[in-house]
Structure 1
Amino acid sequence: MALDRTLLFLLLTLLAEIIGTIGGFGSSVFFVPFANIFFDFHTVLGITAIFHLSSNLSKIFLFRKGLDKKLLLQIGIPSVVFVIIGGYLSKLFESRILEIALGIFLIALSLLFLLKDKLVIPPKLKQTVIGGALSGFSAGLIGTGGAIRGLTMAAFNLEKSVFVATSAAIDMMIDMSRTVVYYSNGYITKDILIYIPFLFLIGFIGSWIGQKILKTISQAVFKRISLFLILLIGLFSLYQSLK
């Protein structure tokens, strides 16, 4: 890839990391649409898993005091199981149809919680398991499940440090699982290994900048920012898939 396109790719990656940290649901929801501009779909899946490993390590370190171990297990375990299933099924399904469905789903749910701003879903076992399973399956199948998990956790009305730390830890479990699956599928090739040092550096810098911005935002504003970003992601994903 030419130098100017490489620099643009890395700049967009940093932007995705900063916004993903502020939103609390990880960078892949922005990174996947951005990376699709530069790489084929299956390569995007592989490079997303690698980038997310560094991204989530940074968030876990920076927001470690907010980690909710109960939610980590309730959402994380079904996420890991279903990301493996989704990862293997990614070879079989037409990605464009799945991206359209994801875009519509994100738009509908984010609008619901924005319009019904008093609506809070209690973080009980049934809700957490369903949310974890859906986000894991989506992450394995089309490369991004953070927005679905973000909607689930935003509905629980969690404090922002708990939201970010727990979401990152769950994402870490998902990424470790899907990296193995994607490698066995042949999605992680030699061509993308050159980007790994830059992606790890961007993961930490973007998370650090996002953390500094979050300290200036109230809890109510944080929740609305998360939902607005998810709405934008849904609209952008739908536009990209229909274009």
Structure 2
Amino acid sequence: MEYIIICLAALLGSGLTLFSGFGLGTLLVPVFGLFFPIEIAIILTAIVHFLNNLFKLFLLGKSANLNVVLRFGIPAILFAFLGAYILSLLTDMQPLMDYQMGNHIFEIMPIKLTIGILLLFFSLFEVVPSLANIQFDKKYLPLGGILSGFFGGLSGNQGALRAAFLIRANLSKQSFIATGVVIACLVDISRLTIYSKEIINHSDHFDYTLLTLATLSAFIGAYFGNKLLEKVTIKTIQNLVTVMLILFAILLIMGII
């Protein structure tokens, strides 16, 4: 049963999140977590996420905007390390509050609350008519990388902030997705470098058949998502990103993810 659930989540998640540029990891961690300890679930998700990004790079990489990759991606990677380091110093950080729904207790953490508010702010650029046509000047790309990397290192939720900036960077739909994929690959490499010791320590507990099938399922989802890309407009992608940003922000603020 776990094979079907995990592979289906990887297939659908990869296809749907191809357009938004974020969300696959958020979806896969709790699904893997149904069948594995959370530390194993995080590592397995990181591996599938990275391999799937490499496949998307093969499909779309030629459309990436190198200038945006350099100006956004390099600050993102550097500040991701800084954010991760600061997180290691904040291991005793306390939640602002907690609450219970059913049998689950959810905690509202300061970092995730901050990111949620930032994402809601960026969502205003799509839902408020007077802001809808505003584009971020290229000079602000390093700032976007700094924010994305730093808060991503603190919480692991880097993709949403990256998408919030790139969707307003006046890129074509192919370039928006491809540029995000290249940056995501660079971030995944840095993240897997940090995880490398844990990967080695837990390698005996991996189900390699399941890992392979989940990765292949993600490939299939990305392949068909890429085929569908030809039929959608940049406005459709902007609307999808906005909806996902708002949903993602609400779930962060509520402490659900």
TM-score, scaled relative to structure 1:
0.84
Match 2:7 to one of 10, 18, 35: 10
Residue type of the partner of 1:23?
S
C-alpha distance in 1, partners of 2:212/2:41? 17
Q: Give 1:201's aligned residue.
A: 216
Q: Deviations over 1:56-88 (max 9, x none)?
A: 111111112311111111111112212223334
C-alpha distance in 2, partners of 1:140/1:48? 16
C-alpha distance in 2, partners of 1:145/1:199? 22
Q: CA deviation at 1:49?
A: 2.3
Q: Give 1:145's aligned residue.
A: 158
- Asked if 1:80 corresponds to 2:55, the answer is no
C-alpha distance in 1, partners of 2:116/2:201? 26
Contact 1:48 1:143 in 2 (8 A): no
Structure 2's unaligned 5+ residue stretches are 96-106
Q: Give 2:240's aligned residue.
A: 225
- Identity over aligned residues, as a percent? 27
Note closer, same or farther for the CA distance 1:113–1:192 as it changes in structure 2 (3 Å cut).
Answer: farther
Q: Give 1:47's aligned residue.
A: 44
**SS of residue in 2 equivalent to 1:236:** helix
Contact 2:61 2:181 in 1 (8 A): no
Note closer, same or farther for the CA distance 1:151–1:31 as it changes in structure 2 (3 Å cut).
Answer: farther
Misfit runs of 4+, over 6 Å: none
Note closer, same or farther for the CA distance 1:32–1:143 as it changes in structure 2 (3 Å cut).
Answer: farther
Q: Greater CA deviation, 211-220 or 98-107?
A: 98-107
Q: Give 1:56's aligned residue.
A: 53
Residue type of the partner of 2:237?
F
Contact 1:79 1:134 in 2 (8 A): yes
Report the number of matched residues: 237
Q: CA RMSD in A?
A: 2.7
User: Which has more radius of gyration?
Assistant: 2
Note closer, same or farther for the CA distance 1:140–1:186 as it changes in structure 2 (3 Å cut).
Answer: farther
Q: CA deviation at 1:210?
A: 1.2
C-alpha distance in 1, partners of 2:163/2:44? 21
Structure 1's unaligned 5+ residue stretches are none
